A and B are shown apart, each in its own frame.
Chain A
């Protein structure tokens, strides 16, 4: 339900004025609240009109061809669908091997191992996050993300996640305070046992991954999170 404070946060979010934890927290709320998303979208539509309030200034004629040339030299868009895991970057594989144990074993002992892993220079750029279930119907659903900020890629492993309908996919999102919306990191489907392991690359450069979330979306994914949140972790 909307209230004045939420509208205020939404207005600030629509203008990119929320920062850090405030932005991450609001982003998480947004992912789970369609009414709130509709409000933010409406505020952005309104704010965008401010662009019409500026004095008209034409770009120079040569700029269009310069932009075309820049586009033609861009590398091919990287697919963000899950890729084969016959080969994983070794740092991710090592991080995942340890983090996977976290899903099953004693958390206290594994946390100590993870801390030790991070302290080694070779793993300093890794971020490991555990994802917990947001589904009341599947409380044991869980996941772990190993994120390599330097290489801008990561691996997600999930377990005990319910199967989807044929016209649905799970979609991974990365919450980065630099972006108004969580960043799309790809879609996946779980196997018969409710498990999946994917290598992912986000659609945009991640400066600081403050949270990872999985939502249930239409087949092929959505440009912005629309469906219910399934897993969330920091």
Chain B
């Protein structure tokens, strides 16, 4: 690694200078989500139902991927929704989408559980299972389910376009609960290399998922 920070090629840092303007559709969704969370924080049951049914399947899937245990995943999903309910009034649509907000809170809960158990993440190969065609139990709307299915396909396609080393690094970084040093040891790569792969992997993923960025 260079001794002094490497400045980015001219123009590349412009991507992140300030915040990317949102489309009209994104603005409408953002406004609707803010209103839903405002009502939810006020105790509105219908808003809670809508929030739960829209996000619970995706969050549970992610939590299970991290914990690999049904009962613990149920417990963590409960902890996550309780915390999201507590923080609902503070949700700021200007800073993140509701999806990202929910994912990060839930992921943190799951990672905390992993670290408290000191269980190690199985390799991506060992944990990979075929997509389960599970009929919806939680009554999410057909529109929500279709949207999630399409988004899943889009993300899987994007991930498949990443170099294997980058995909592996961000996979471990996001799901395993390992520290940087542990990931480096697991991959048998220097720490600096792992950090670079994570950075490049996230940037490349962002580029594929949102070319306008």
Contact = CB atoms under 8 A, between A and B. Distances in A.
Given A14-B202, A17-B180, A35 B17 contact: yes
B137 to A, nearest CB: 5
B78 A66 contact: yes
Contact of B170 (A45, A47, A59, A203): A47
B103 to A, nearest CB: 4
A71 B179 contact: no
B199 A8 contact: yes
Contact of B148 (A2, A42, A52): A52
A6 interface: yes
Main secondary structure of the interface of B (DSSP, over half): helix
B206 to A, nearest CB: 4
B5 A51 contact: no
Interface string B60-89: 111011000000011001100110011101
A45 B97 CA distance: 7
B10 to A, nearest CB: 12
Interface string B117-138: 0000000000011111010111
Given A2-B16, A70-B78, A57 B137 contact: no
Nearest to A39: B16
B195 interface: yes
Count class of interface residues, chain B:
35 or more
A62 B141 CA distance: 18
A12 interface: yes
B209 A49 contact: yes
Contacts, number: 196
Interface residues of A, number: 55
A203 B87 CA distance: 9
A58 B199 contact: no
A77 B131 CA distance: 39
A110 interface: no
Contact of A223 (B53, B73, B92): B92
Interface string B189-213: 0000001101100110110010001
Contacts of A34: 18
Given A17-B180, A45-B96, A57 B199 contact: no
A61 B138 contact: yes
A38 B137 CA distance: 37
Interface of A: 1-8, 11-12, 14-17, 19, 34-35, 38-39, 41-61, 63-64, 66-68, 70-71, 74, 77, 180, 184, 203, 222-224
18 contacts: A1-B13, A2-B16, A3-B5, A4-B6, A17-B173, A38-B17, A45-B97, A49-B158, A50-B175, A51-B59, A51-B62, A52-B155, A57-B64, A58-B138, A63-B78, A70-B78, A203-B90, A224-B95
Closest 9 CB pairs of A and B: A51-B62, A52-B155, A48-B103, A5-B5, A48-B100, A3-B5, A59-B60, A54-B65, A46-B206
Given A7-B8, A49-B205, A61-B137, 11 more contacts: A3-B8, A4-B8, A5-B6, A12-B195, A38-B16, A45-B206, A51-B107, A52-B148, A54-B61, A55-B130, A60-B74
